[in-house]
Amino acid sequence: MALPNKDQIRLWGIAAAVFFLVIWFLGDVLLPFIVGGAIAYFLDPIADRLERLGLSRVAATAVISLAALLLFVLMVLSVIPTLVNQLTALINAAPDIARKLQGFLLERFPDLADSTSTIRQTLAEIGLAIQSRGAELAQGVLTSALGVISIVLFIVVVPVVAFYLLLDWDDMVARIDSMLPLDHAPTIRRLAREIDAVLAGFVRGQVSVCLVLGTYYAVALMLAGLQFGLIVGAIAGAITFIPYIGALVGGTLAIGLALFQFWGDWFQIGIIAAIFAVGQFMEGNVLTPRLVGKSVGLHPVWLLFALSAFGTIFGFVGMLIAVPVAAAIGVLTRFAIEQYRSSLLYQGKAAILPAAPGPVGSKARRSRKSGGAGEGA
């Protein structure tokens, strides 16, 4: 005999409460396992594809691990130091950029020459604030990141966890599937497939889009001669998951820096603008439709809310679990709405009253009448 609905709701509620309490109290301990699990989830389709090509699971995992190790070493040796250097140079150049902007505005608007002008004082304060606090902010971000993810954890623990989870991923999924409540197993499998589809479409797809666009913007801007092209491309690629915002923020930053660096060379400035126009076209017509899909069921506003809420409550670990939890809540909400629409609470009397007779019913009544008349005759 199945458990009553109230008991089932109580048990599922207790399970959810235990999950969030564990995240609350053991977030720092669970961090390497969460990161490793996310990496394994992201790489599982690649391992499955290598298995279909004839490799064993162990061989596929080893190939992926070696490729990831080489990519990580390449980034540490080449890309990351350049990013840090360009970020520092950009912060240090900000006061000079502010002064040149002030000079440009003074040429166009002579009234700003007045030392008591509010706009002039504001521009000067912005330049000083960026110079004094920009480097401190960048150093604080780097220090916080290194505090959350230590060098030992990142180099040793996370790769080991990701390797073993990737190696046993299919077996773990099969074990979890075998422990599902038999009465609810079909529904849970259906919801799990929908959640996986959302995560696969958004996480794997959007990460791929961000990497492709970030690489494109960075390489194209550097080839175009923009002084801070690498950091601008990285910023634009990192926030591409928000529609139009990545191109808008990156394009505004790049064009602003191009105006500062290439003032008067409108052809060069046009090249910078064309780079982001091409990137936006690629994102909307090629990358997002192919890698993400037309509908993943995860609205950007809902995603930002989840990131903000979970980040505030659970810290860095909360931001890591925000996307999968948001995807799960979205799928469960759609399932609840579907159940509500099929319930008596929504349909009311329409679900109880018989359907109105159509042409077939009218024809049947006419047949019965004619048959009754014939019998009477």
Residues 218 and 164 in one domain: no
pLDDT tens across the length of the chain (377 residues)? 466 767 777 887 888 888 888 878 876 677 778 888 888 888 888 899 999 988 888 999 999 989 988 887 777 676 666 666 766 766 666 666 666 666 666 666 665 555 566 665 665 666 666 555 555 555 554 454 444 455 666 667 888 888 889 888 888 989 988 888 888 888 889 888 888 888 777 777 778 888 888 888 888 888 888 877 787 888 888 777 666 677 778 888 888 778 777 777 788 888 888 888 888 888 777 777 777 665 556 676 777 788 788 878 877 777 777 878 888 888 888 888 888 888 777 777 766 665 555 555 444 444 444 444 444 43
Residues 97 and 212 in one domain: no
CA distance 211 to 246: 12
Tell whether 246 is covered by a domain.
yes
Tell whether 60 is covered by a domain.
yes
Residues 82 and 145 in one domain: yes
Residues 6+ apart with CB under 8 A from 94: 127, 130, 131, 134
CA distance 208 to 214: 10
Residues 121 and 32 in one domain: yes
Residues 167 and 213 in one domain: no
H or E segment and range at residue 271 = helix 266-282
**What global pTM score does this model have?**
0.60
H or E segment and range at residue 8 = helix 5-52
**What is the count of structural domains for the chain?**
2
Query: So what's the pLDDT on residue 63?
Result: 92
Tell whether 320 is covered by a domain.
no
Domain encompassing residue 123: 25-171
CA dihedral 197, 199, 201, 207 (to 10 degrees): -160
Among candidate residues 245, 275, 294, the one where a domain is terminated: 294
Among candidate residues 171, 190, 220, the one where a domain is terminated: 171
Query: So what's the pLDDT on residue 20?
Result: 82
Tell whether 72 is covered by a domain.
yes
Number of Cβ within 10 Å of residue 130's Cβ equals 19
Among candidate residues 294, 326, 349, the one where a domain is terminated: 294
Tell whether 278 is covered by a domain.
yes
Number of Cβ within 10 Å of residue 162's Cβ equals 25
Taking a C-beta distance cutoff of 8 angstroms, is the pair 305, 318 a contact? no
Residues 106 and 167 in one domain: yes
CA dist 64 to 60, 154, 159, 351, Å?
6, 17, 11, 55
Tell whether 326 is covered by a domain.
no
Residues 164 and 289 in one domain: no
Tell whether 78 is covered by a domain.
yes
Residues 144 and 244 in one domain: no
Helical spans, DSSP H, in 53-157: 57-74, 80-108, 118-148, 151-152
